[in-house]
Chain A
């Protein structure tokens, strides 16, 4: 299995060097979802390998498999030509594969050096060898081109960029030969990005390979050597040259789908004259989004497309009153809502299905019917006393009409699958009755079959005259389901279009342009 040394490879382009890492046909299932469906990835020593793909394409799952955080259900991982398994994250680290996640896993209260050597502390007779790790960390920081950083500084006081350097120093302290970076530039400003790229280039020159994940094509062109594109859990293309693969080609590879979703037909001939049921004007929240304006007519589905972190979820939560805006107004059926008050929005007939179903919407240990009636308790009591029978009866009517499976409103909602949990959240608002329904990622964690049902359900609600606002990371979903599409980028609405007049490429173009600017 030992290949020829890097310099004496044959002339074939793919065989120039023995890959440092080769992942073959990696498969990973989650309950109800096939997250990875046969992925191949080759990384050469000393290259910056870019991993591209839409949200849900499998990038995060893939790097977690590589880091030993997930166990693959199939496929092989070859490391320096030798087949390996990583049953624990430490196993991958010990082989020299370090992963820097988006949410950095640093301990704020410890010093830089203590963080770098966390988990492999150096000690003599049980006493920490502070001087030794401080000196070693200072050397690593110098190697990373940041000699100005102090090894004894507390990590909590560092900027996001500083923390990233600490994470990289930690990777190097494990003698990493491959560093995986998940959207490292997302939290950095332009100057910090430039410095990060200098560091990455230095590391690559030292022979360390980097897997770099980013949505920003411009960055990939600057520092990437080769590109692998993922799509729906499969490798769509690999080994593309980063410098001169046309953007249109990359976007085509990212968007061309192997799974076709069934979207319900749009309602024909809306009465465009109808008064809007929801009007948002000049809405802003400092540091999150600004000058957001849109309106929704009864029976219309308006989709917000944008990347994670673009501000779309924050906009939705602010409209609902769960966050207080710094400026702007929200009107429902012509009447302004008191800002920052969930109660006011609900009283005006606004319903909200939040992004994180489990942490924001459901009480997992509680029965299905109780989760459904949570927003309408006032309907089920007489003088404060709950009428449980009526609750169960009315909740059951909705679970039956939505076909929640398994049936039975008494089981804990935590035992249901993602799609059925989403139906329970929708049932909550159907039971209450609303004019405006705000849906944040309604199909997240929902398997393909249940998706079609959820889509049909949402369209059905619109047909009953409810104004729907839909947020989704999946551009195809927004375009397929919505009547009108707003593109959100960096906290602003950068484009608006009828869904028929826009396609996935155009949206992705707008989203990525906005992110680069």
Chain B
């Protein structure tokens, strides 16, 4: 889109920028949606090359690929939801805590065997409802209570984590319902169900953001809430729905985590909010809202999980992983700033 607009720019147009220099032209290329993703693909390929060079076949095997994807799926589902909240001009720090709360709530139900004909689907609905409820509270506090989202969700982060500890009495609650683990731990044509859920969430998120009125409203609300309001969009309701969706994603992520770890605990998802936000921002979604990319977010998640995988295969500890993560975040944001200033957008 950007390349096209530059081609259309006529000389003498009052609003036209000076003729683009080589740096700006590269900036313009990188600023186009495809161009941004090219950068992410290159980063991911580089990581894979490092993986192959250092770990050889242990990295470049189908099984390892699936390990990476399975690892990515839980945080991936949250990150897709986070993409919507951030694109809509918000932020949610409570996702990790809400996921832990949902996991604990669901497993408590199952251990208590409330009904004789208890089915694991009850656990799933419980987790989803807990997530959605927390998201709804976040949304209402932010949109109708006019609290800064940073503060409202910070409060939710503390409260949800605390409630999870209270409910579980800080014990790890093993999932006794094998049905749930069997269903979500299964594979379809060699692909883990968790990965399929992640893929479906990402695909659904992409369609929602790019092809529906809901997505268009999200971009408008994040880009200029006052203009959106004056154009007849119910900004407060829309913002609430965004947080609700993210809460729902946290509930789904909790179920996936239950299947992967076969346990619910109040320590699940610690620092998940930072991983999710980092993945979203690296992917190219503007932290200030108004521009978002689900594809970029998926790449952001994959870059981080591949990094973890490569480091683990090389027996490097999590401390050095974190250093690398920090460096990647800084590099990605610096690049994004150059790109957005180069293309003349704000």
Which A residues have a C-beta under 8 Å from some C-beta of B?
Answer: 31-32, 320, 322, 342-343, 346, 352, 354, 359-367, 370, 374-375, 377-378, 380-381, 384-386, 405-408, 410-412, 414-417, 420, 428
Contact = CB atoms under 8 A, between A and B. Distances in A.
19 contacts: A32-B14, A342-B230, A359-B227, A361-B231, A363-B223, A363-B228, A364-B224, A366-B219, A367-B1, A378-B213, A384-B213, A384-B214, A386-B213, A406-B8, A406-B9, A410-B1, A410-B5, A412-B345, A416-B15
B346 A414 contact: yes
A112 B16 CA distance: 45
Contacts of B226: 359-360
Contacts of A374: 216, 220, 227-228, 231, 233
Interface residues of B, number: 37
B214 A406 contact: no
A414 B346 CA distance: 9
Nearest to A344: B232
A381 B207 CA distance: 13
Contacts of A414: 344-346
B335 to A, nearest CB: 18
Contacts of A407: 8
Nearest to A353: B230
A342 B17 CA distance: 36
A415 B226 CA distance: 20
B145 to A, nearest CB: 18
A375 B220 CA distance: 11
A31 B14 CA distance: 7
Given A385-B211, A406-B9, A415-B5, 17 more contacts: A32-B14, A343-B232, A352-B230, A354-B230, A360-B224, A360-B230, A363-B219, A366-B220, A366-B290, A374-B216, A386-B212, A406-B8, A406-B10, A408-B5, A410-B5, A412-B5, A417-B13
Nearest to B6: A411
B4 interface: yes
Contacts of B344: 414-415
A343 B234 CA distance: 8
A39 B226 CA distance: 37
A361 B223 CA distance: 11
Which of B14, B229, B231 is packed against the most chain A CB atoms within 10 Å? B231
Nearest to B9: A406
Nearest to A346: B232
A385 B212 contact: yes
B70 interface: no
A498 B13 CA distance: 40
A365 B14 contact: no
Interface string B5-27: 10011100111110000000000
A285 B278 CA distance: 45
Contacts of A411: 5, 8-9
Which of A32, A377, A414 is packed against the most chain B CB atoms within 10 Å? A377
Given A374-B220, A412-B5, A365 B346 contact: yes
Contacts of B213: 377-378, 380-381, 384, 386
Contacts of A364: 223-224, 346
A417 B14 CA distance: 7
Interface string B307-346: 0000000000000000000000000000000000000111
A363 B224 contact: yes
Contacts of B14: 31-32, 417
A384 B216 CA distance: 10
Given A384-B213, A385-B212, A412-B345, A362 B224 contact: yes
A415 B18 CA distance: 12
A363 to B, nearest CB: 4
B161 interface: no
